[in-house]
Amino acid sequence: MGGSRGPAVAALAPGSILWTDDLVFAEVAKSELGVEGVWTLALVEHLVNRGLIDRAVAEEAYAKLVGFNYQITHFRGSVIVAALRVSNGSVAAFPMRRMIQAFGPLAAAGAHRNTAFLMLAESTRFRPTPRPKRSWRKREFLGRN
């Protein structure tokens, strides 16, 4: 681990955990120091499940991770809508541009790729995300609680 032990050593404190998206660093920290780690996607989802952040905030975070070329393994159509919201509806702006690139074959489909992609995003826009003990409302989806 060399000179980069600081975060892993800090995670040794009781009640602490190492937050890293670097799998190699996390594995070395665990094997050498016994430190448990968490990655960004798991942390954001945990915050949503605990009710500490709204689902819309999490979806925008996921969209930004895609925009930063984070190697995300899955996301819902609502994250595509969040990417559009963050990029102010522009398919050429961050993070929507990278979201389109992440779909490789769809993005290479031809002149109508942006239209097809927007139709895909819009088709998922008004499907409610199940929320425990709360009714879904359009204003909640848009982050206006």
Mean pLDDT confidence for 54-63: 94
**Where is 19: in which H helix or E strand?**
strand 18-19
The length of the chain in residues reads 145
Please write the tens of the pLDDT for every residue from 79-100.
989 999 999 989 899 999 988 8
Kindly list the domain boundaries of the chain, sorted by start residue: 2-38, 54-141
Report pLDDT digits (tens) over 101-117: 887 655 555 545 555 55
User: What number is the average pLDDT over the span 3-31?
Assistant: 79
pTM of the predicted model, to two decimals?
0.64
Q: Which comes out higher in pLDDT, residue 6 or 3?
A: 6
d(CA 45, CA 55): 9
Share of the chain above pLDDT 90, in %: 28
Helix (H) / strand (E) containing 32:
helix 23-33
Say what the pLDDT of residue 126 is. Answer: 43
Which of the pair, 125 or 28, is modelled with greater confidence? 28
Give strand pairing partners of 19: 38
Sign (positive/negative) of CA torsion 98, 108, 129, 17? negative
pLDDT band, residue 141 (cuts 50/70/90): very low
Q: What mean pLDDT is predicted for residues 36-59?
A: 93
